[in-house]
């Protein structure tokens, strides 16, 4: 059962790499058009240490940005979920904020806090990823059926008891659904900033240096490394979801 | 005899987006200690609002609600509620769901005593062996049984049942009626039951209150003679048929479909 869960995706990835290799070989594409998996290995070998340090940079900044998004998004969602007035007041603001393409915000933030590279990157990761969390928490709380509230309220329970015992756990499945979207968004935010920032760090910066030096295999190698990190982050969230909201999964 | 619940001349108006909506207008309900009152009335007339008054979740504009001689001014721990929607918490086991009120209400019992009491209640309603199951593993009728245990775990003075059997099929419903009698014999309570089912009202209650259409006032009260332990057979006696006829007529009056006629 678990062996199958690991073997099947691994096999799928291997098949994908073989097809990729065959395609590049059959079409006779040069490296600057499309590098093939066999070209990537030397790139990893040469820059092994860079990949580790840059990967770590990207990873920790994404996670910190995401954690801030979770804290802020949950707090905002709670405010909007419990108060109709706050929901009406904040919703248009929030939607407008989310509608601004972050690609346009990145250069602005990069200039605003020039030199504060870690701060910049975390800020963008945060800004891009808190929206789904805030919306899901507020919807989860505001759609709580009144009977759930009433069974506790009739006993004299406080608002915070109702929140911890019922509202919060009941919102967890929606929260994790949003977190899966947010983790990918935060990751994109981090990389955007790393690519755009002068003297940046992280995998985005490594990608940028590959571009400057016309090192095409390196650029493709970074893409694969990003995909790998993205998968790892996503499945960490899935594992957390299983632990804290596994009860919502009816398929088991 | 002193009444446990005394609702006198209660009026209430909701302020809605489309203007004021009078819901209760001259409500009178008295329930003696240990009594079981069923409340029937047209859809949307204000029955659930009445339950919220007793629970202290809503304070009426006018009139007063007394429980055990004390004016109700807010929620008190002495009520238990069960609704049509069993509202069990999916992330808890059945046992932990039943124990929920004891996490809010102060109780002299130890942890094991609480659990023993929950197990005893579950066994009483026929849910022995389901203590560690999740709500999603139970049928609708079983969920309603668990919900009933939760509403009784803290030994409330007043049990408020807002159409708890409304969504169940006829056979399951009759099963639960009999369970109610069994539970009441073991765990005495005073109950107010909201229902749409007239047979249910005379099977379970010793008094049936008919409310008028909105705004609701007490239109009619029927005393159900105490026939000892009631069985389903009682529903097919001439006496039962007559009570059902009277109630059906009163409902039609409440709905405004026929004028009131004198019933002897
Ligand atoms: N908090 C509220 N604010 C505004 N209007 C309300 C509120 N609660 C109930 N109402 C309105 O008051 C009326 C009576 O509601 P209530 O739920 O008490 O009726 P009911 O007799 O229980 O109905 P049903 O038979 O459908 O269960 C309805 O028209 C309802 O829309
Ligand atoms: Mg109702």
Q: What is the 3-state secondary structure (H, E, C) of B123-156?
A: HHCCCCCCCCCCHHHCCHHHHHHHHHHHHHCCCC
State in Å: Cα A183 to ligand 1 middle. Answer: 43
Are A61 and A116 within 8 A, CB to CB?
Answer: no
CB contact under 8 A, A152 and B89: no
* Segments making up each domain of chain A, as ranges: 1-30, 36-248
Burial of A131 (C-beta count, 10 Å sphere; 0-12/13-18/19+)? buried
**Which pLDDT score, from 0 to 100, does residue A110 have?**
78
Model confidence at A1: pLDDT above 60: no
Interface of B with A in 153-172 (CB under 8 A): 154, 160
Model confidence at A113: pLDDT above 70: yes
The residues, any chain, with a CB within 8 Å of residue B155's CB and separated by 6 or more, are B187
**Which pLDDT score, from 0 to 100, does residue B262 have?**
59
Distance CA B41, CA B201 (A): 11
B29 forms bridges with which residues in the sheet?
Answer: B7
Distance CA A77, CA A56 (A): 31
The highest-level CATH class for domain A36-248 is mainly alpha
In Å, what is the CA distance from A76 to each residue of A69, A131, A137? 10, 9, 8
Q: Are strands B190-194 and B36-40 parallel, antiparallel or unpaired?
A: parallel
Taking the complete model, does pTM exceed 0.90, yes or no?
A: no
CB contact under 8 A, B57 and A147: no
Distance CA A216, CA A224 (A): 13
Distance CA B42, CA B211 (A): 7
Residue of A nearest to B161 (CA): A151
State in Å: Cα B46 to ligand 2 middle. Answer: 7
State in Å: Cα A142 to ligand 2 middle. Answer: 21
Which residue numbers in chain B have pLDDT < 50? 1, 264
- In chain A, residues with a C-beta closer than 8 Å to the C-beta of B85 are 145, 147
Mean pLDDT of A128-150: 90
- In chain B, residues with a C-beta closer than 8 Å to the C-beta of A170 are 89-90
B216 forms bridges with which residues in the sheet?
Answer: B24
* Segments making up each domain of chain B, as ranges: 1-75+190-264
Interface of A with B in 24-63 (CB under 8 A): none
- In chain B, residues with a C-beta closer than 8 Å to the C-beta of A151 are 81, 87, 100-101, 150-151
Residue A68: both structure tokens together: 């801030």
pLDDT 10s digits, A8-47 = 888 888 898 889 888 888 888 887 777 787 877 887 888 8
pLDDT 10s digits, B132-172 = 999 999 999 999 999 999 999 999 999 999 999 988 998 99
**Which pLDDT score, from 0 to 100, does residue B1 have?**
47
Shortest Cα distance, chain B CAs vs residue A157, angstroms: 6
Residue A216: both structure tokens together: 């095409």
- Please indicate whether residue B15, judged by its CB atom, sits closer than 6 Å to ligand 1: no
Q: Which ligand is nearest to the CA of B42?
A: 1
Mutate to test the pocket of ligand 1, among B17, B38, B45, B209 (most ligand atoms within 8 A of CB): B45
B89 in reach of chain A (CB within 8 A)? yes
From the CA of B46, give the closest atom in ligand 1.
18
Neighbours of A112 (CB within 10 A): 12
Distance CA B5, CA B71 (A): 10
Model confidence at A142: pLDDT above 90: no
User: How many residues belong to chain A?
Assistant: 252
Distance CA A172, CA A168 (A): 6
Query: Which contiguous run of DSSP H or E holds residue B193?
Result: strand B190-194
**Which pLDDT score, from 0 to 100, does residue B53 have?**
92
CB contact under 8 A, B81 and A250: no
Residue of A84, A143, A144, A151 to mutate for B, most B C-beta atoms under 10 A? A151
The confidence band for A251, taking pLDDT boundaries of 50, 70 and 90, is: low
Distance CA A93, CA B191 (A): 49
B85 in reach of chain A (CB within 8 A)? yes
The highest-level CATH class for domain B1-75+190-264 is alpha beta
């Amino acid at each position: 059962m678990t062996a199958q869960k690991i073997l099947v995706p691994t096999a799928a990835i291997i098949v994908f790499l073989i097809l990729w290799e065959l395609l590049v070989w059959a079409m006779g594409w040069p490296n600057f058009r499309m590098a093939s998996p066999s070209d990537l290995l030397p790139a990893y070998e040469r820059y092994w240490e860079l990949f580790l340090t840059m990967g770590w940079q990207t990873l920790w900044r994404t996670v910190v940005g995401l954690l801030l998004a979770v804290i802020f998004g949950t707090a905002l969602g709670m405010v909007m979920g419990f108060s109709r007035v706050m929901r009406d007041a904040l919703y248009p603001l929030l939607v407008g904020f989310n509608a601004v393409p972050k690609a346009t915000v990145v250069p602005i933030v990069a200039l605003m806090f020039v030199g504060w590279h870690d701060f910049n990157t975390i800020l963008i990761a945060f800004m891009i990823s808190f929206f789904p969390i805030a919306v899901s928490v507020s919807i989860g709380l505001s759609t709580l059926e009144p009977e759930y509230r009433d069974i506790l309220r009739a006993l004299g329970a406080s608002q915070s008891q109702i929140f911890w015992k019922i509202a919060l756990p009941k919102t967890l499945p929606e929260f994790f659904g949003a977190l899966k979207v947010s983790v990918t968004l935060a990751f994109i935010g981090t990389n955007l900033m790393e690519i755009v920032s002068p003297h940046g760090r992280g995998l985005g910066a490594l990608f940028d240096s590959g571009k400057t030096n016309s090192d095409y295999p390196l650029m493709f190698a970074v893409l694969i490394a990003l995909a790998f990190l993205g998968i790892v982050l996503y499945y960490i969230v899935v594992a957390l979801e299983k632990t804290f909201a596994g009860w919502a999964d009816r398929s088991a | 005899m002193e009444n446990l619940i005394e609702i006198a001349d209660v009026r209430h108006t909701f302020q809605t987006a489309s203007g004021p909506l009078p819901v209760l207008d001259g409500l009178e309900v008295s329930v003696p200690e240990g009594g079981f009152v069923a409340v029937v009335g047209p859809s949307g007339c204000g029955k659930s609002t009445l339950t919220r008054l007793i629970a202290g979740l809503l304070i009426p504009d006018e009139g007063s609600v007394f429980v055990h001689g004390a004016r109700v001014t807010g929620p008190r721990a002495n009520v238990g509620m069960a609704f049509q929607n069993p509202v069990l918490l999916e992330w808890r086991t059945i046992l932990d769901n039943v124990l929920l009120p004891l996490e809010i209400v102060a109780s002299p019992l130890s942890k094991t005593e609480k659990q023993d009491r929950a197990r005893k209640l579950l066994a009483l309603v026929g849910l022995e062996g389901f203590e560690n199951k999740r709500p999603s593993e139970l049928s609708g009728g079983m969920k309603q049984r668990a919900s009933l245990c939760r509403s009784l775990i803290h030994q409330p003075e007043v049990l408020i049942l807002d159409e708890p059997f409304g969504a169940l099929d006829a056979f399951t419903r009759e099963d639960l009626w009999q369970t109610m009698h069994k539970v009441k014999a073991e765990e005495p309570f005073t109950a107010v039951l909201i229902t749409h089912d007239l047979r249910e009202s005379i099977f379970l209650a010793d008094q049936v209150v008919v409310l008028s259409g909105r705004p609701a006032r007490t239109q009619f009260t029927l005393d159900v003679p105490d026939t000892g332990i009631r069985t389903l057979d009682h529903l097919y006696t001439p006496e039962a048929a007559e009570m059902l006829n009277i109630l059906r007529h009163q409902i039609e009056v409440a709905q405004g479909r026929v004028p009131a006629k004198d019933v002897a």
